[in-house]
Amino acid sequence: MGPLSLPDVSGYDEMILPGGKVRDAYKGYHRWLLGQAHDGLLRKRKEAELQFHRVGITFNVYGEESGTERLIPFDALPRVIPAADWRRLEQGAIQRVRALNLFLHDIYHDQTIVRAGLVPAEQIFGNAQYQPCMQDLDLPNRVYSHISGVDVIRDGAGTWYVLEDNLRTPSGVSYMIENRRMMMRLFPELFAHQSVAPVEHYPSLLLETLQESGAVPNPTVVLLTPGRFNSAYFEHAFLAQQMGIELVEGADLFVKDGFVFMRTTAGPQRVDVIYRRIDDDYLDPLAFRPDSMLGVPGLLSVYREGNVILANAVGTGVGDDKSIYPYVPDMIRFYLDEEPILANVPTWQCRDPKALDHVLAHLPELVVKEVHGAGGYGMLVGPAASHAEIEAFRERLRARPANYIAQPTLSLSTCPIFVDEGIAPRHIDLRPFVLSGKDTRLVPGGLTRVAMSAGSLVVNSSQGGGTKDTWVLEDGSC
Amino acid sequence: MLSRTAADLYWLSRYFERAENTARMLDVAWNLSLIPFAVDAREEITAPLVITGSLASYQASHDDIRVDEVMHFFTLDDGNPGSIFHCLRAARESAHAVRGKITAEMWESVNSTWLELREIRELGLEGYGASEFFDWVKNRSHLFRGATYGTSMRNDAFRFLRLGTFIERADNTARILDVKHQIGRAAGDGAVDFYRWHALLRSVGAYEAYREIYSEPINAERVSELLILRPEVPRSLRSCMQMLCELLPAIEGHAGQQSKRLAAVQFARLQYGDLDHIVDTGLHEYLTDFLRRVNELADTIREEYLEVV
């Protein structure tokens, strides 16, 4: 078999320059790729699938037959980020998360940003994610979002934009680590020739972050999962194991004498820090949803006493809500007195009648999202939607305009992926994971999500999106 | 260790052991039912239903006791909580819940067992072959045990896995012996008796042990001694109780006083027991009493370690 044909792309491609030349960061990889045979790569893809299945790296899909497990499609071509690009991204993500933590502290204390007139009061206090029980509660290091996922994309011109912030229970980091392990297993020779920055130390950084968030020395840290039927259960188990901490369910914990304990074979053991992967609403049936079977009765009262730390804190959702998103650049200026390093995507808030008119007039060009939605559910991608879908959405938008925001359809950058016929470009995004303890930091990399079908802009795994390994090349290795 | 984790580990190995024991038991029944002379195939095929206490639930959904139906009931029947299918699915679910507490190789052996079982189920027992299926189950159990033995840390996770194995095995060896004894007593034909005891020894993998230890022809009393009292036989009641006695005190912490006491008492009864006493008591009565004690121990382990309030 001859050399692989390379994609013919328009828009910003991560690997290929307009005119067909290969970008510097990809040169090493590209040379290697040209020497590979198509069926050799096919075999590697099979091997990867088999291995993921065997190891059980699967996720559960809501709404499908119970117990259905699917693999998230894995693409064996890496996405490469040059060191200089990464440094900027890293600084931008840290800046953003610091500002968001300051914002959360502020709105649960003095609300200076509201009084300064930068964010309308009703956007905060009328927000379903705002938790009055957090008012005036002081948290160690003033950190609310210990683990944040900042979703970034590149538009057609190659400029980075933040698409959204994830401050509740961002997931996907296990794929970042497993994808790297898979690449090193499939193609060890690639790592011998290029210095790809490591990401495997993420779990130890995470544990350090959780430990330093505790109010006591040598805290006992646990990971609280909704259980094995949750879509991200694999990740919960994976992270608990990598950190060497207990993976607990609500029923394993109980509250007594103002503290949280877990039931162990050697009797009750006190718990100091809970890395919870359960939404606020389900944490404590006495404080939130009384029908929740996943939480721990009385947990919130212990939390309010400062006798247990929750990561992330209760009420962080008000910081990553799509209705708050447009204000983040102003937050950065307000709290840090800095210019935002990473730009926001221009956003129309449909609650504003003028913006709504504009959106209604331009629906086929826009992406419209639910303010509180996540996972790619309940959104309209105008250019990809049928006339009927657009009209149906128009009605929903008119009925509840405040429930939606709209953004221009950005032509997300593309990156080559391996398909049955060879190599083809697909749209991608990137989710780096920012850890906030005493410092704010991240490992060099993140989860690159891929829209697996040609032309699609939806990268969410719940909608059939895939992932690929993300390489941050260290300086001088291009 | 979390009580729930301990419970999942315990049930993971109990269910896997149960699947293996069920395969062993069926293998015997299947082979005996194929022997054309003298043996009452119907009686042989009823034995597994009696051993596992599932005769009533079988009869509730079946009009007649037929070899193929009983085989299906115990192997691939989703509706029977005692079927191999059900056991391996439960084992896999428990393993899934403690994915982070077992090694990758242990998980892979459980998970690939489940994936293969689903394929076998598509073929059906006849399509795959009954004997081949029983061998497959035994091999998968060997593989899981080997992965556990070869890769697991010697910690409480390992101990709870082993606890589950030996509680289940003690229970099963006692049941299998009891039922064979009762069928054997009723029949009384020398040749058939020989086949029965021979098959029983084969089913628990102790045929070679018998040959090595005893120089006399296979008979009921020696088989009973072998499977109840001999320390060299890994499926004997004594070996199972000895393991439980070693495992329980090694678990970290001070819980489980009652469990440790019950195990020690039962082990002493076997360690210092003799065949004459068993014969005097009556084998059936002796085994019934043993089963009651094992179940009491299992209940106590559950209360003291696995479902702590």
Angle at B253 between CA B251 and CA B254, to 5 degrees: 105
Residue A65 pLDDT: 40
A478 CB-near residues (< 8 Å, 6+ apart)? A24, A25, A27, A28, A82
Q: What is the pLDDT of residue A377?
A: 67
Residues in chain B within 8 Å Cβ distance of A56:
96, 99, 107-108, 111
Identify whether the C-beta of residue A63 lies closer than 8 Å to the C-beta of residue A193: no
> Measured between CB atoms, does B302 come within 8 Å of chain A?
no
List alpha helices for B76-129, DSSP H: 84-97, 104-128
Return the SS3 of A142. helix
Indicate the pLDDT class of residue B134, thresholds 50, 70 and 90.
very high
The pLDDT, as a whole number, for residue A322 is: 87
By the 8 A CB rule, do B38 and A299 touch? no
Is the per-residue pLDDT at B100 higher than 60? yes
Residue from A234, A265, A271 to probe the interface with B (highest B Cβ count within 10 Å):
A265
Q: B42 at the A interface (CB within 8 A)?
A: no
b vs e for A313-328, b when ≥16 Cβ sit within 10 Å of the residue's Cβ? bbbbbbbbbbbbbbbb
- Range from A93-107, A370-384, B156-170, B242-256 carrying the lowest mean pLDDT: A370-384
Residues of B in contact with A244 (CB under 8 A): none
A306: tokens are: 């400062």
Distance CA B300, CA B309 (A): 13
**Amino acid in the structure at residue A51:** Q
Q: Cβ(A74)–Cβ(A182) under 8 Å?
A: yes
Q: Give the pLDDT of residue A368.
A: 92
Model pLDDT, residue B309: 62
- The C-alpha atoms of residue A272 and residue A172 are separated, in whole angstroms, by 25
Model pLDDT for residues B223-241, shown as the tens digit of each residue: 999 999 999 999 999 999 9
Rounded Cα distance, A49 and A41, in Å: 12
What's the Cα-to-Cα distance from A143 to each of A209, A332, A424, A435, B280, rounded to whole Å? Answer: 11, 16, 42, 10, 74
B12: closest CA among B122, B94, B133, B109? B94
Neighbour tally for A214: CB within 10 Å = 18
- Let me know: does A161 contact A367? Beta carbons within 8 Å: no
pLDDT of residue B197: 86
B273 pLDDT band, cuts 50/70/90, is: very high
- Nearest CA to A134 out of A17, A291, A16, A288 is that of A288
Q: Does B152 touch chain A (CB under 8 A)?
A: no
Taking each continuous run of H as one helix and of E as one strand, the counts in chain B are: 15, 0
Q: What is the pLDDT of residues B107-131, one digit of tens each?
A: 989 999 999 999 999 999 999 999 9
Domain boundaries, chain B: 1-152, 162-309
All residue ranges of chain A with pLDDT < 70 are 1-10, 55-69, 373-377, 476-478
Min distance A221 CA to chain B CA atoms (Å): 13
Instruction: Please tell me the predicted confidence (pLDDT) of residue A475.
Output: 72
Which pLDDT does position B138 carry in this prediction? 97
Query: What gap in Å lies between CA A98 and CA A103, rounded to an integer?
Result: 9
Phi, psi of B53 (to 5 degrees): 65, 30
Tell me if B98 sits within 8 A of A240, measured CB to CB.
no
Note the pLDDT of residue A59. Answer: 61
- Per-residue pLDDT at B182 exceeds 70: yes
B4 touches chain A (CB under 8 A): yes
- The alpha carbon torsion through A333, A336, A339, A341 (nearest 10 deg) reads -120
Stretch B155-164: mean pLDDT: 96
Task: Give tens-digit pLDDT for B184-220.
Answer: 665 556 677 788 888 889 889 999 999 999 988 888 8
- In this structure, the number of other CB atoms found within 10 A of the CB of residue A388 comes to 8
Task: Give backbone dihedrals phi and psi of B40, rounded to 5 degrees, phi first.
Answer: -85, 100
In this prediction, what percent of chain B has a pLDDT beyond 90? 71
Short-list A433, A415, A222, CA closest to A308: A222
ipTM above 0.85, yes or no: no
Average pLDDT over residues B147-158: 96
**pLDDT, tens digit (0-9, with 9 covering 90-100), for B16-48:** 999 999 999 898 888 877 776 556 777 778 888
Domains of chain A: 24-215+306-340+410-472 (no CATH), 346-408 (3.30.1490.270)
User: Which of A55, A248, A265 is opposite residue B6, by nearest beta carbon?
Assistant: A265
Q: Cα(B67)–Cα(B179) distance, rounded to whole angstroms? A: 18
CA distance A329 to B140: 58
Q: What is the mean pLDDT of residues B93-116?
A: 90
Cis status of the peptide bond prior to B172, with omega within 30 of 0: no
Q: Under an 8 Å CB criterion, which residues of A touch B?
A: 53-56, 227-228, 233-234, 237-238, 240-241, 246-249, 251-252, 262-267
